[in-house]
Amino acid sequence: MPSITVKGMSCNHCVQSVTKALEALPGVSGVKVDLLSGKASYEEAAPVDLAVVKKAIEKIGFEVVG
Ligand SMILES: [Cu+2]
């Protein structure tokens, strides 16, 4: 299960936004986002390009730091 670290989330609304942005990506499911650590993990039905994941998150105003 791939995981990334998202910077800039400050409340549950941010968590929802990130979760939705990830779930909208083809092949991504089972998204879990932790507010405190910034960790977002997901399952992929087929390999999902990390660059696509980062782009989706940056598009909604957050930063992927790892
Ligand atoms: Cu927020």
Asked if 4 and 63 touch (Cβ cutoff 8 Å), the reply is no
43 — pLDDT class (breaks 50, 70, 90) = very high
pLDDT at 38: 98
Residue 19 alpha carbon to ligand 1 centre in Å: 12
The crossing angle, in degrees rounded to 10, of helices 50-59 and 12-23 is: 140
Residue 12 alpha carbon to ligand 1 centre in Å: 6
Instruction: Report the domain count for the chain.
Output: 1
Q: How far is CA 64 from the centre of its chain?
A: 8
pLDDT at 54: 97
Percent of the chain with pLDDT over 70: 100
- Give burial (CB, 10 Å; 0-12/13-18/19+) of 64: buried
Neighbours of ion ligand 1 (CB under 5 A): 10-11, 13-14
Residue 10 alpha carbon to ligand 1 centre in Å: 5
Residue 14 alpha carbon to ligand 1 centre in Å: 4
58 — pLDDT class (breaks 50, 70, 90) = very high
Query: For residue range 5-27, what is the model confidence (pLDDT) as tens digits?
Result: 999 999 999 999 999 999 999 99
Owning domain of residue 16: 3-64
Distance, CA of 43 to CA of 48 (rounded, Å): 9
Q: What is the CATH number of the domain that holds 45?
A: 3.30.70.100
